[in-house]
A and B are shown apart, each in its own frame.
Chain A
Amino acid sequence: MSEEKKWYNFDLGFTKQTAKTGTCGCGKSEGSCGSKQQPKTTIQKEEISEEAFFEAAVDASIGEERHKDGFDQVFEVKMDRRSAFRKLTASLLIGAGAVNTSCSITAGDASKEKAQIDWEEQFKGNYKLMTDDEKEATVNRLMRSYELRTGKNLSMTAENAKENVLFGYAFNISKCQGYMNCVSACVEENNQDRNSQMQYIRIHEMKDGNGFKFNDADDNYYHEVPAEGHFYMGTQCFHCDNPPCVDVCPVQATWREDDGLVVIDYDWCVGCRYCMAACPYDGRRFNWSKPEVPEKEVNKNQHYLGNRVRKKGVMEKCTFCVQRSRKGENPACVDACPTGARIFGNLLDPDSTIRWVLENKKVFRLKEDLGTEPKFWYFMD
């Protein structure tokens, strides 16, 4: 069972073609056994057993159940009992102000629309469970809201994971010189809070000859690099394939997408920070106060799950720049690195550089004993 779960058993071998045409437990061709998670089943297909099929079926049925469990996530809200209840709590939660504005005749159209948007945003459902139309709707609302507030336009997408894509990352320890261009590129790309100097990437400066001694490493240095007698190693969220942070979330505000990205719905997170305690790699960051990015520095190319501006009291982390990677670009850190130490790509594509690295270099991952299966490898020249 656990062997089957380890994705690399399937993806890094050369059996991918068989995997694609393999039979499903139900004896039908791909996808017809009702599983909703296409790419995931593709991965499992190769050795799909009775048990796996059963699981997929349960998954599918529960998935639907969950779906019903959710919300009327439509723009025009029907007043059934559930939404009526939500509206009731609403008045308590967003305060009479917004309600007033949305009802009063004298209020301007813009503020009325804004109140309407705030209302719907407050009571929308979990992005993970939204249909594509609902995703589109919330993204449109967010863009419109930004326009109403600042008078500027931004572009936000809700692009889904592509099929046959599984993102992975490799880090060349021999090349990294500790310049931290990746860090600043990441901050700019992902609209991180400037006040608290939040950074997803940490570069650990280690002493030559001591091996990987994280304990003695310095991840907060301010001096000229490369420092004599030191080497550098970067960490960030590793997008574990078996992510402990996902299981612990009480509201499923964080999950693994089908292309392997572990993402957070910032609007659904309740800020309990359980995921932060569960992450063994220091991958997560919390917005302890309202994040601030000067208007002119805001990166306007956004993705709902990626770099849109966060709010106070929610979790965030590296998304492998979902707004870029799903468009086929490299994450900002990869492009910014002057030494070429960072390699990113599709693990399912046998011709990708990352596959070449994994097949030809001696790679390793951190804390493998925890069974988290990070999709982030280290190697040396």
Chain B
Amino acid sequence: MRRFKVFKSLVTDSLDTITTGSKRYHLWMGLLTIIMLAGMYCYSIQLDEGLSVTGMTDRVSWGLYISNFTFLVGVAAAAVMLVMPTYILKDIDFKQAVLIGEGLAVAALIMCLAFVIADMGGPAVLWHMIPGIGVFNFPDSMLTWDVIVLNGYLFLNISIPFYILFRHYQGKDSNPKVYIPGAILSVFWAVAIHLVTAFLYQGLQARPFWNNALLGPRFLASAFAAGPALIILVLGIIKSFSSFKVKDETIKKIAMIVTVAAQINLIMLISELFKEFYAPTHHSESAFYLFFGLHGKTALLPWIWTSISLNVLAVVMLTFGRFRNNFKTLYFCCFILFVAIWIEKGFGLIVPGFIPGPYGKIAEYTPTGIEIGVTLGIWALGAFVFTILAKTAIGIETGEMRYGKKTS
């Protein structure tokens, strides 16, 4: 009974917290709402006319939505890089960062699910996928595995921080016996969501560009670079806009993680390039298309070369402690790294898988305005969710929000 009362008060308190804030905060939320509404409008057009309003065709049948989905799975998985040291190695440093990381994971997962649904031809019959009342083709279809691991991960990432915050809200300490098993589980789980998502593509013998053993590991490396990079940026923003204390040490440690992951990612890229171009076969055509263009079709060239140069630049700069420990350059590096990996794991991975087609046909793909609108809308949704989660968590952690304490 008491618990219920506390929960009720938590909900009202957090409602209070998220509806009050500085002018900038309101502006930010208002902006996000507008983008979300625009995205919903675009989606309503798509629902009405069908997926023909997107740039996708029979030749390139996955595009921007699935690209973003793939990338965001990586971002979600990255929360684990912070969970591990905090909860298990008792590295107190990360404690605050991890709550932010898990909030980020929740927001990323919600975006993932939204992107998958946006990509479906028949969202109205999605219940066909619900085990029990529909038919769940488990374990044959990797997509069903993905549904399981993503939802499981979402559950873990909601419940662990919720437990901790709920205890802190009452002014009590959280019991490690309760959350450590969950934290350990989520460590394995994060690796699983990423590997399974990679297997989604890796398992298709029809698409040689994806059907290579390095895909899974490379997913992991790039995820552990892009995710923490985003966390650093977010911590930087939070640090300057709220009273939430994040130690410089914490950020520097995360920067170390980013650096190592980005270096490994680059090594794997080199290995991939070597395999494709040292002794090119028929199966290297997608890579040729991606990096050099095929038969005058070069739509992806500017993207991938931007990505590679940003990637290399970021890795070189991060490798030198002088740049890594200077916050200005660190934020810059994290930003360009994030963009580079977004291109590489999104567009640069999904689209060339379809080009050239099974019989060598080269049909290019350009997203339409509506597709971009929906995509932006979903990103805004993610930012919105994250802001709410982070603001509540910060409120509790800084002690502004406490059970029994009146919040204005």
Contact = CB atoms under 8 A, between A and B. Distances in A.
A277 B206 contact: yes
Given A196-B52, A244-B205, A313 B122 contact: yes
Nearest to A246: B140
A244 B359 contact: no
Nearest to A204: B359
B356 interface: yes
B141 A273 contact: no
29 contacts: A93-B124, A129-B135, A216-B360, A219-B359, A247-B141, A248-B141, A248-B143, A248-B203, A248-B204, A250-B129, A250-B141, A251-B134, A270-B122, A271-B120, A271-B122, A272-B120, A274-B200, A277-B353, A279-B206, A286-B58, A287-B50, A289-B50, A289-B51, A289-B52, A290-B50, A313-B50, A313-B121, A314-B122, A372-B205
A36 B361 CA distance: 41
Contacts of B124: 93
Interface stretch (A21-29, A82-90, A300-308): A82-90
B218 interface: no
Contacts of B354: 277
Contacts of B143: 248, 250, 272, 274
B1 interface: no
Nearest to A290: B50
Contacts of B200: 274
B144 to A, nearest CB: 5
Interface string B56-85: 111001100000000000000000000000
B61 A273 contact: yes
B191 to A, nearest CB: 22
A368 to B, nearest CB: 12
Interface stretch (A63-71, A133-141, A142-150, A328-336): A63-71
A358 B132 CA distance: 45
Contacts, number: 148
A99 interface: no
B29 to A, nearest CB: 28
Interface in A58-104: 66, 69-71, 82, 85-86, 89, 93
Given A270-B128, A277-B206, 17 more contacts: A66-B135, A69-B135, A71-B133, A214-B359, A235-B359, A248-B203, A251-B134, A272-B120, A273-B61, A276-B58, A282-B361, A284-B58, A286-B121, A288-B52, A313-B121, A314-B121, A370-B206
B133 A217 contact: no
Interface residues of B, number: 49
Interface in B129-152: 129, 132-137, 140-144, 147
B102 interface: no
Contacts of B54: 288
A285 B127 contact: no
Interface string B5-22: 000000000000000000
Interface string A310-338: 00111100000000000000000000000
Contacts of A270: 120-122, 125-126, 128-129
A202 interface: yes
Contacts of A276: 58, 61
B128 A288 contact: no
Nearest to A279: B206
A192 interface: no
Q: Which of B49, B125, B203, B356 is packed against the most chain A CB atoms within 10 Å?
A: B125
Nearest to A255: B137
Nearest to B59: A282
Nearest to A247: B140
Nearest to A245: B206
Residue of B50, B58, B135, B140 ringed by the most chain A CB atoms within 10 A: B135
Contacts of A86: 127, 133
A176 interface: no
B358 interface: yes
A249 B116 CA distance: 15
Contacts of A272: 116, 119-121, 143
A31 interface: no
Contacts of B361: 219, 282
B402 interface: no
Interface in A222-255: 235, 244, 247-253
B135 A252 contact: yes
A315 B58 CA distance: 10
Interface centre among A69, A204, A247, A288 (most CB of B within 10 A): A288
A370 B353 CA distance: 17
A289 B50 CA distance: 5
A251 B61 contact: no
Contacts of A280: 205-206, 358
Interface string B198-215: 001101111100000000
A251 B122 contact: no
Contacts of B142: 248
A269 B122 contact: yes
Nearest to A282: B358
B357 interface: yes
Nearest to B127: A89
Contacts of A253: 128
A268 interface: yes
A281 interface: yes
A371 interface: yes
B282 to A, nearest CB: 9
A287 to B, nearest CB: 7
Interface in B333-367: 353-354, 356-361
